[in-house]
Structure 1
Amino acid sequence: MDLLIDSGNSRIKWAYSQGGQLRAHGSAARGAGIPDAAQAAWQAGPCPTRVMVANVAGHRFAVQLDQWLQARWQLVAECIQVNPDQGGIHLAYAQPERLGVDRWLAMVAAVHDTTGPVAVIDAGTALTLDVVTHDGWHEGGIIVPGIELMAEALLRKSSGIQFGTQGDMAATTTGPLGTDTHSAIEKGSLYAVTGAIEHALARRGATAQSGLSVIICGGNAALVMAELNLQCRHVPDLVLRGMQIIKGGG
């Protein structure tokens, strides 16, 4: 039994892989170290044969994870790297090692789960979109700040924009436009993200008749899906599924 860990910029996800199935899924917000919820879940779970991690959280997290695994199970994590010879995808990047491992694994899982061309969206701290043809050719993608990151950057860099009172911060609107600073920034950030997706796919020539499937994952997937004028399939554990395929040599 393998423990698979997807360590992103703001969250960590995990699942156990056995017999081709993922089970005992979990996730937690990632702070300065390994979240308490993750440690508790791993301590309560079985001792894995090996631990595999897709890490975009940086070297410090990798060191912390290895220290924890050594102390608990005398194991060292196997850190997955982008390998253009695995996964059945011909990457568009001239330097494949510069592609985020989470993007690669999400594409691997999406391609193995569809028969035609597929667009893969990861709506997390950053929002990424990648398109892969029916025969596994990666056409390329886009990266934009995610909804929260975009809003935070606007507030941090614009001293004239203030949320104002606590009541203003708590205000919400169900209409298409914001009715206070907080909701206006939220709406603007959401529309910027979804507009980027739809514009990129329109420029690519993706239409309802093109047979393009759209698969989405990430913490803001539900929010983005609700606003897109596209038929999307939500696969929350897409990166973990990609890890499972790679570990099996797929």
Structure 2
Amino acid sequence: MSLCLQLDVGNSSAKWRLLEQGDVLSRGRYSAADANTQRELLESTASVDQIWVSSVAGGDTEAELREMLEQRWGVTPWFARTPAATGDLRNSYADPARMGVDRWLAMLGARARCGKRVCVVDAGSALTIDLISATGQHEGGYIIPGPALMERALLLDTDRVRFTDEVSYDLAPGSSTAEAVRHGIAVAQVGSVSIVLDGCASEPPALIFCGGAGQVLQQLLDRGGEFIPELVFEGLEIMAAAP
């Protein structure tokens, strides 16, 4: 039996899953500020053989997480870092370490699924859009505030944009402040991806979505593609197995 705990740590919370010989036994969410989610993670298994982590959190947060995991299971976690290349996927950054490892792992997962040119759209706290050539060269990407960040900016920096209504994201013109904000954010997110795809008209890429808002964005964009909710975990497995 080989048990592997995998974590995808964002800026505010983390997703985790526990695998035995490649099969997912359990999964959940963890926040350092939430004792219940911490307990659920630490009680997910009595023992573990390996711990793999994708993290975009700061150094102090990583150190606290490492200490907690080591104390609980006596296993030193392996933290994935962004390299210049993994397999035939090649980074475009002059300093590869400055690219968020979640972006790199999502691209690794997408590359493994699609051997042709591909556009990876990760819709989370930030909306990231990355293009990979058919030969595996990262062509560059975009980082845009995600829906929650856009909404927070409006609420923080304007006095009269206030609402309590629960409104879904949609592309129709809004007939209330709540609709105008949420629909405007949807237009901004969809428009960003559309502009990138329109610029690829001579060589249209395959389209892969991930992230908490990825499925909604895919539906609003209405250009097909696949939604792979655990794409970062797929990339984490590929990188952990790489020579």
Same fold (TM over 0.5): yes
Provide, for residues 47-101 of structure 1, a one-character-per-residue CA deviation record: whole Å limited to 9, x for no partner: 2212111111222321221221122112222111011232421111111111110
Deviation at 1:41, TM superposition (A): 3.8
User: Contact 2:118–2:207 (CA<8 Å) still a contact in 1?
Assistant: yes
Q: Which amino acid aligns with 2:101?
A: V
User: Contact 2:170–2:186 (CA<8 Å) still a contact in 1?
Assistant: no
Residue 241 of structure 2: aligned partner: 248
User: Contact 1:131–1:139 (CA<8 Å) still a contact in 2?
Assistant: yes
Q: Distance in 2 between matches of 1:23 and 1:173?
A: 32
Q: Which amino acid aligns with 2:5?
A: L
Residue 44 of structure 1: aligned partner: 44
SS in 1 for 2:150: helix
User: Contact 2:210–2:231 (CA<8 Å) still a contact in 1?
Assistant: yes
Residue 58 of structure 2: aligned partner: 58
Q: Which amino acid aligns with 2:51?
A: V
Q: Does 1:7 align with 2:37?
A: no
Deviation at 1:44, TM superposition (A): 2.9
Deviation at 1:35, TM superposition (A): 5.9
User: Contact 2:110–2:231 (CA<8 Å) still a contact in 1?
Assistant: yes
SS in 1 for 2:90: coil
Where in structure 2 are there 5+ consecutive unaligned residues?
Answer: none
Q: CA RMSD in A?
A: 2.2
For residues 94-243 of structure 1, the aligned pairs below 5 Å read: 94-163=94-163, 166=164, 169-170=165-166, 176-205=172-201, 210=203, 212-243=205-236
User: Contact 2:168–2:182 (CA<8 Å) still a contact in 1?
Assistant: no
SS in 1 for 2:76: coil
SS in 2 for 1:216: strand
Where in structure 1 are there 5+ consecutive unaligned residues?
Answer: none
**Structure-1-length-normalised TM-score:** 0.88
User: Contact 2:19–2:26 (CA<8 Å) still a contact in 1?
Assistant: no
| Displacement over 3 Å in runs of 4+ | 32-35, 170-175
For residues 70-81 of structure 1, the aligned pairs below 5 Å read: 70-81=70-81
Give the number of equivalent residue pairs: 241
SS in 2 for 1:204: coil
User: Contact 1:116–1:212 (CA<8 Å) still a contact in 2?
Assistant: yes
Provide, for residues 11-67 of structure 1, a one-character-per-residue CA deviation record: whole Å limited to 9, x for no partner: 311123443x2513523263x546632531442325221211111122232122122
**Structure-2-length-normalised TM-score:** 0.90
SS in 2 for 1:53: strand
User: Contact 1:88–1:108 (CA<8 Å) still a contact in 2?
Assistant: no
- Tell me: CA distance 1:183–1:198, structure 2 relative to 1, closer, same or farther (3 Å): same
Deviation at 1:170, TM superposition (A): 3.8
Deviation at 1:115, TM superposition (A): 2.0
Provide, for residues 118-150 of structure 1, a one-character-per-residue CA deviation record: whole Å limited to 9, x for no partner: 110100000000010111011111110001110
